[in-house]
């Protein structure tokens, strides 16, 4: 059977601050500049969720995209949208919300829930000009 990757785009709008509490305020300011603003800033994030598997000859689907949308909405989007990524999100507790750390944390939430097709890539857009990709590699 052909192996196809299917991708669903979802969105969330959130506040955050890039800050590592293990470092001094000076060190944080030096490392992160205006992204370290203690009063927060925010973004309209886009999250592209890619799932790979054989096409089921009965349904013509790798996976029902509605199921992907529902899982990611319930486990990720509803927890991030209109929230503060440093303060409000259980699965981000203690995590400095850089794009890199966000995409890895989201992967760990979603990957076990996608089955039997496999989550193969997350792309997280922070702005129109930058995004991160994660495929589970360590």
Using CB under 8 A as the criterion, which residues of the chain lie in contact with a copy of itself when the complex forms? Answer: 1-11, 13-16, 18, 20, 22-23, 31, 33-35, 37, 39-44, 50, 55, 58-62, 64-66, 81-84, 87-88, 96-101, 103-104, 127-134, 137-138
At a CB cut-off of 8 Å and minimum separation 6, what does 77 contact?
10, 11, 12, 47
Minimum distance between the CB of residue 121 and a copy of itself, rounded to whole angstroms? Answer: 10
From the candidates 35, 41, 43, 129, give the one annotated as an active-site residue.
35
Element (H, E) at 127: strand 118-127
Distances in whole angstroms, Cα of residue 136 to Cα of each of 21, 30, 45, 120: 26, 30, 20, 7
Distances in whole angstroms, Cα of residue 66 to Cα of each of 23, 41, 44, 49, 138: 42, 32, 22, 12, 29
Minimum distance between the CB of residue 90 and a copy of itself, rounded to whole angstroms? Answer: 14
Minimum distance between the CB of residue 115 and a copy of itself, rounded to whole angstroms? Answer: 18
* 82 carries an active-site annotation: yes
* 41 carries an active-site annotation: no
* 129 carries an active-site annotation: no
Report, as residue numbers or ranges, the catalytic residues. Answer: 35, 82, 126
């Amino acid at each position: 059977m052909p192996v196809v990757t299917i991708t669903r785009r979802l969105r969330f709008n959130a506040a955050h601050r890039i800050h590592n509490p293990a470092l001094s305020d000076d060190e944080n300011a030096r490392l992160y500049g205006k992204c370290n603003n203690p009063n927060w800033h925010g973004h309209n994030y886009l999250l592209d969720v890619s799932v790979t598997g054989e096409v089921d000859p009965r349904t013509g689907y790798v996976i029902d995209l509605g199921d992907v949308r529902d899982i990611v909405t319930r486990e990720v989007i509803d927890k991030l949208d209109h929230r503060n990524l440093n303060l409000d999100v259980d699965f981000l507790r203690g995590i400095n919300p850089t794009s890199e750390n966000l995409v890895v944390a989201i992967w760990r939430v979603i990957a076990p829930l996608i089955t039997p097709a496999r989550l193969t890539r997350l792309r997280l857009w922070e702005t129109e000009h930058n995004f991160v990709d994660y495929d589970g590699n360590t």
